Amino acid sequence: MTLWQIISIFLIFGGAFFISVGSIGLIRLPDFYSRCHATGKADTLGLLLVIAGLIVYEGFSLHSAKLLIILIFVGLTSPTATHALARAAFRFGIKPRFKKPATTREKT
């Protein structure tokens, strides 16, 4: 096992970790906008890390160039799609969830 394979194993493990964090945030967070935050950033970072690990494993060839194209495309479009969905939800009239003020908490 060479050094490049060890680097790619670390990158792919990091990507799988971030994808798991994004998925857990998708079901644990209480609000639609916070769910957008979880899946828009953590999931994209995990996907980019996995593709970067595959580029390191592949080396310098045509396939790694195609993988680089996929990496740039996903890094541009995945946050764009999440942003469009969040803007549509805001215009649809979904209210964000705010913390209750401290005065009402003291009353109860």
Partner 1 sequence: MHDFFTFVAVYLTIVIFIPLYRVIAGPRLMDRMLGAGAIGTKTMVIILLIGYMFDRIDMFIDITLAYAVLNFIGVIAIAKYIERIARKR
Q: Which residue ranges make up the site for partner 1 (CB under 8 A)? A: 1, 5, 9, 12-13, 15-16, 19-20, 22-24, 26-27, 32, 35-36, 39, 43-44, 46-47, 50-51, 54, 57-58, 63, 66-67, 69-70, 73-74, 77-78, 80-82, 84-85, 87-89, 91-94
Rounded to the nearest angstrom, the gap between the alpha carbon of residue 25 and the centroid of all alpha carbons in its chain is: 10
CB of 104 to partner 1, least distance (A): 25
CB of 101 to partner 1, least distance (A): 25
Alpha helices, DSSP H, located in the chain? 3-28, 32-37, 43-58, 62-92, 102-107
d(CA 73, CA 37): 20
